[in-house]
């Protein structure tokens, strides 16, 4: 399996499919690169080089004790782009991965980046604070951390069976296979990495990073997202990035990479082909 080695010696696994202009996909919590397989297969089949990596502590990447926060995640992504010498890249971030890609731009600029796509992404800032009155109360994330410590496996079952894919909504029918894949990927992540990543995606302020975005940007978000509420995430991010295109999926949940994969694939190809 291919790996790149980061500044602190951690090995980061990546999947590299197809040939052409590079699209680099950053996954959500507590998942790994396998969560992008539908999109990788589609993009590679349409003339793009689709690359997805396992974030440190997740999937097949190494599980160092330190570095489970956004600055290091972004620097690890920079190592991937630099090692593979990728240029004119489209960065695509889902959920936590959306934070990773905008923090990359905030720290490393857009010299290698041609386009940005945020899918159900956590920026600009999820946490309720005095200067972010529309955010999510900290007790919500405290509950996730408590669930992780008490019974991590059951926490992932509950998320997959309920809010992540919207399977708790009337008439929803998300396959057992999709839900099991979420659970299995979550348990591949290291316990400390997954626990600390809750703070990384919830308490990191990405507003300054979004202000640094100077490339064409597509924001995609479901308006029934129970994990990253639309008003907190996609709507606010699109308003902050000059010229960003906002595409709203009516009634869609958080995990649209699975539940709306055909629609998402079409939107990705349309945006990519516009470059």
Which residues are designated catalytic? Answer: 95, 225, 254
Through-space distance between the first and last CA atoms of the chain, rounded to whole angstroms: 31
* β pairing state of 3-5 and 245-249: unpaired
At 227, list the tokens: 């994990």
CA distance 190 to 26: 18
Beta bridge partners of 89: 113
- Closest C-alpha among 19, 53, 55, 20 to residue 36: 53
| Torsion angles phi and psi, residue 153, rounded to 5 | -60, -45
* β pairing state of 3-5 and 11-17: antiparallel
| Phi/psi-derived region of residue 258, left when phi > 0, alpha when psi is between -120 and 50, beta in every other case | alpha
- Closest C-alpha among 187, 150, 147 to residue 57: 187
CA distance 275 to 267: 13
| Torsion angles phi and psi, residue 245, rounded to 5 | -95, 125
At 203, list the tokens: 């308490």
Beta strands in 95-148 (DSSP E): 113-119
Element (H, E) at 80: helix 70-83
Q: Taking a C-beta distance cutoff of 8 angstroms, is the pair 52, 15 a contact? A: yes
């Amino acid at each position: 399996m291919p790996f790149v080695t980061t500044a602190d010696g951690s090995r980061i696994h990546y999947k590299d499919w197809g040939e052409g202009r590079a699209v680099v996909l950053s996954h959500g919590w507590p998942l790994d690169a396998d969560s992008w397989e539908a999109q990788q297969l589609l993009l590679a089949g349409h003339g793009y080089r689709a690359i997805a990596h396992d974030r440190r502590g997740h999937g097949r990447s190494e599980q160092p004790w330190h570095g489970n926060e956004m600055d290091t995640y972004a620097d690890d992504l920079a190592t991937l782009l630099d090692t593979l010498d990728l240029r004119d890249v489209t960065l695509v971030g889902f959920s936590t991965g959306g934070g990773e890609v905008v923090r990359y731009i905030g720290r490393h600029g857009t010299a290698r980046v041609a386009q940005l796509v945020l899918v159900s992404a956590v920026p600009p800032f999820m946490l309720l604070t005095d200067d972010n009155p529309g955010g999510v109360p900290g007790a919500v994330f405290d509950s996730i951390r408590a669930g992780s410590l008490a019974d991590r496996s059951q926490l992932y079952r509950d998320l997959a069976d309920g809010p992540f894919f919207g399977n708790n909504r009337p008439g929803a029918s998300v396959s057992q296979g999709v839900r099991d894949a979420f659970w299995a990927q979550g348990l591949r992540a290291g316990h400390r990495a997954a626990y600390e990543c809750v703070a990384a995606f919830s308490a990191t302020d990405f507003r300054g990073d979004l202000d640094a975005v100077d490339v064409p940007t597509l924001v995609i978000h479901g308006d029934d997202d129970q994990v990253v509420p639309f008003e907190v995430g996609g709507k606010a991010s699109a308003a902050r990035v000059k010229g960003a295109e906002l595409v709203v999926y009516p009634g869609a949940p958080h995990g649209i990479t699975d539940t709306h994969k055909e629609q998402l694939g079409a939107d990705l190809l349309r945006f990519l082909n516009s470059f």
